[in-house]
Amino acid sequence: AQSVTQLDSQVPVFEEAPVELRCNYSSSVSVYLFWYVQYPNQGLQLLLKYLSGSTLVKGINGFEAEFNKSQTSFHLRKPSVHISDTAEYFCAVSVGRRALTFGSGTRLQVQP
């Protein structure tokens, strides 16, 4: 079985500051890794994915993440956040096309 830990439940940050949202996973087999964003009362939007290849992946809205196999981490970063980035962010893993296992989410609060 897989598990995902998002170490921070809330991350407050000022506008235009950099941010890192942390994600660690546990699995006995190789997994695919994903970050999703959820705005209030909406569905989840795929930000980026790591399937194979380069460990640094770039996604939408200026976000990027780095896969670190030895540390079993997949942290999400953005060099300069905007008010509009305020949302809940979920890290998820899957084995093949099986179900996604989600972390508990990190609420990013961007303050002016």
Rule CB under 8 A: which residues touch other proteins? Answer: 32, 34, 36, 41-46, 49, 51, 90, 94, 96-105
Q: Cβ 29 to other proteins, closest distance in Å?
A: 14
Q: Cβ 66 to other proteins, closest distance in Å?
A: 18
Q: Cβ 41 to other proteins, closest distance in Å?
A: 8
Residue closer to other proteins by CB (options 19, 48) is: 48
What is the C-alpha to C-alpha distance for residues 61 and 81, in angstroms, rounded to an integer?
10
What is the C-alpha to C-alpha distance for residues 111 and 18, in angstroms, rounded to an integer?
12
Residue closer to other proteins by CB (options 68, 104) is: 104
Q: Cβ 112 to other proteins, closest distance in Å?
A: 27
Tokens of 110: 């961007």
Residue closer to other proteins by CB (options 14, 39) is: 39
Residue closer to other proteins by CB (options 6, 73) is: 6
Smallest Cα–Cα separation from 34: which of 94, 85, 88, 86?
Answer: 94
Count of other CB atoms within 10 angstroms of residue 110? 19
What is the C-alpha to C-alpha distance for residues 76 and 96, in angstroms, rounded to an integer?
22
What is the C-alpha to C-alpha distance for residues 15 and 34, in angstroms, rounded to an integer?
25
